[in-house]
Amino acid sequence: MTPVERALRQLIALEGPQSLERVMGMANAHYYATRDPFGPAGDFMTSPEISQMFGEMLGVWVLSVWEAMGCSSQVRLVELGPGRGTLMKDVLRAAKVLPGFLKSVSVHLVETSPVLRRAQEQNLTNGAAHVSWHDHADEVPAGPVIVLANEFFDALPVKHYLKGDDGWHERVIALENNAFVFGLARGCVPDSLIPARFHGAETGQWVEFSPQGTRIMDDIAQRIARYGGAALIIDYGHEHSRCGETLQAVRQHQHSPVLERLGEGDLSAHVDFQALGEAAQKAGTDRFALLTQAALLNTLGLPARYAALAKAATTAQKPALDSAVERLTDTTHPTAMGQLFKALCVTQPNLFKGGLS
């Protein structure tokens, strides 16, 4: 039995079936707190771990935001869920081209996992910038912010509700014959607890949403609207909210049943970019059209960076470089990273032209 399973059994014995949101929160907190899950030997691979070019291109975006902000002297560079710290390391290296930037910036990492905090510390100890850590996004000190988040929002707990004849029932996890099973809360919740965009759902349909994700987006967007700055959120997900659920567990690069070995696999759900975009706009930021990861990286200059690295690469290094570009920007099928991953950019009002109204 895993530690999460043991804790969940106790909770169910004391309080009855538990909401999926609570179980997903418990499972992922344990999962990330106890391991470094990235890379071939781990459970999954993320873009910054595929190639330094990913972080370098995000560095280009960070610098363009900073310049558009008038080279603000007090900016907080925030990363949500920084994993090993690889992305931030590559961003800071790319940012050396504007030496004034590193002097003006303090780095704030929002990370709950002690194991990953240690990895981040090791990756970022060259002293180029002052780094501090926070458990929650709302603990970052007030002021202008430039925020990055790659594969952070997909790890936040989601709620599932089924539309029944009599109203909305929340998905819960119960114990049956000594095994965890999905169930439905007996009572219904009123429409007011379900986001308005799902009110047209039909009987028998599931809806999925992450209150925590919306809260974090709202907090960041309020800071941006009030003090200035921008955020770039990259994740896999859908542009428009839709009914249905996308919860999945991944262990050793394979999908596995969600309720099997809780806390030993990565639980995630597709990000609802409509929900995040609307929360940001409501808080007063400009919001830009969603880009695919491929379009984002190509717009920021990936082809030129690739050409420079390819020129300097040895014959032995070149195939890895080619395959990294291919993986990051492949759009040939819906689940290819360049297509499945999307980027949402929100900024202080009028920072850039072209915001959606």
Smallest distance, ligand SAH to C-beta of residue 69, A: 23
55 binding ligand SAH? (CB under 6 A): no
Smallest distance, ligand SAH to C-beta of residue 103, A: 25
Residue 150 CB partners (closer than 8 Å, separation 6+): 46, 47, 48, 58, 81, 83, 87, 234, 235
348 binding ligand SAH? (CB under 6 A): no
- HSE-up of residue 62 (Cα within 13 Å, Cβ side): 33
Smallest distance, ligand SAH to C-beta of residue 111, A: 5
Structure tokens at 160: 């599932």
How many other C-beta atoms can be found within 10 angstroms of the C-beta atom of residue 356? 10
32 binding ligand SAH? (CB under 6 A): yes
229 phi and psi, to 5 degrees?
Answer: 125, -160
Are the C-beta atoms of 299 and 58 separated by less than 8 Å? no
Nearer to ligand SAH, 69 or 80 (CB): 80
- Residue 229: strand, helix, or coil: strand
46 binding ligand SAH? (CB under 6 A): yes
Select from 150, 274, 329, 339 the one that contacts ligand SAH (CB under 6 A): 150
Nearer to ligand SAH, 56 or 151 (CB): 151
CA dist 202 and 206 (Å) reads: 9
Nearer to ligand SAH, 49 or 286 (CB): 49
Nearer to ligand SAH, 87 or 279 (CB): 87
Residue window 89-128: x/- pattern of binding to ligand SAH, with contact defined by CB under 6 A: ---------------------xxxx--x------------
155 binding ligand SAH? (CB under 6 A): yes
* Per-residue CA distances from 348 to 69, 120, 144, 291 (Å): 9, 29, 10, 19
184 phi and psi, to 5 degrees?
Answer: -125, 140
6 phi and psi, to 5 degrees?
Answer: -65, -45
188 phi and psi, to 5 degrees?
Answer: -100, 155
Nearer to ligand SAH, 17 or 48 (CB): 48
Select from 151, 208, 264, 278 the one that contacts ligand SAH (CB under 6 A): 151
In this structure, are strands 286-287 and 266-268 parallel, antiparallel, or unpaired? Answer: unpaired
Select from 49, 90, 208, 264 the one that contacts ligand SAH (CB under 6 A): 49
User: By Cβ distance, which residue is nearest to ligand SAH?
Assistant: 81
Residue window 195-224: x/- pattern of binding to ligand SAH, with contact defined by CB under 6 A: ------------------------------
Residue type, 308: A
Are the C-beta atoms of 8 and 26 separated by less than 8 Å? yes
Smallest distance, ligand SAH to C-beta of residue 47, A: 6
85 binding ligand SAH? (CB under 6 A): no
Structure tokens at 36: 């470094």
Residues at the site binding ligand SAH, with contacts judged by CB under 6 A: 28, 32, 38, 46, 48-49, 81-83, 87, 110-113, 116, 150-152, 155-156
